[in-house]
Amino acid sequence: MMKLYNNVQSRGMTLFPLFKELGIEEQIDQIQIAYEDMHKADYLKINPMGKVPCLVDQGIVISETAAIFTYLADKYIEKGLAPALDDPKRGAYLKWMFFCHGPLTEYMDLRSLEVSNEQIEQKKRGLAFGDQETLFAFLKQGMQQANPYLLGEKISAVDLYVGYWLVFAIAFKILPYLDEFKPFLELIEQRDSMKDVVWFQKLNG
């Protein structure tokens, strides 16, 4: 039995569609950690960063959502949600996984803190996403090239991860709902694993 330390208001909620797609929900012991308990000694022994989510699998400790996504999709690679290490699509798979975890969420965090485009422009050389124009261009190109998923005809874990973050950002008006995003997000929304993701309801409301 794996243990997932999480909080319902954390980024760990992105993991639940993956659990459903992999069919491992019953193999996850969910342990809710209140924010005020994340920096107590008992939890810091598990994750010294004092953050959730954190997955523990037979003594292996994995924190950071993209790392957990990658670990689980590889652990259950027979489910077909991750390209094999020698698959040519592996590069694009990892690129999208860590683009989402890095540049995209960095941009979202700055926008939620109401950092202006002017401030971003001044600091763009030190930012993972560069500037808003570059980020939007990358996303639009990726969505236009999706066929229909990011890696082609078959869904992968990275579609779930990118799809969740896109719909979250659009629902909270951090990103605009661009026409280029619609075919991909409408496809992702149809997955049974996404039916409990409330951000789609905000998108369509």
Q: What is the pLDDT of residues 43-92, one digit of tens each?
A: 999 999 999 999 999 999 999 999 999 999 999 999 999 999 999 999 99
The answer as to CATH 3.40.30.10 being correct for domain 2-79 is yes
Class of domain 90-204: mainly alpha
> What does the domain layout of the chain look like in residue ranges?
2-79, 90-204
Q: pTM here?
A: 0.95
Identity (one letter) of the amino acid at 173?
A: K
- 87-101: per-residue pLDDT in tens? 999 999 999 999 999
Cα→Cα distances 108→3, 89, 115, 116, 176, Å? 28, 27, 10, 12, 12
In angstroms, the CA 13 to CA 20 distance is 12
The SS3 call for residue 161 is helix
Measured distance CA(152)–CA(177) in Å, rounded: 22
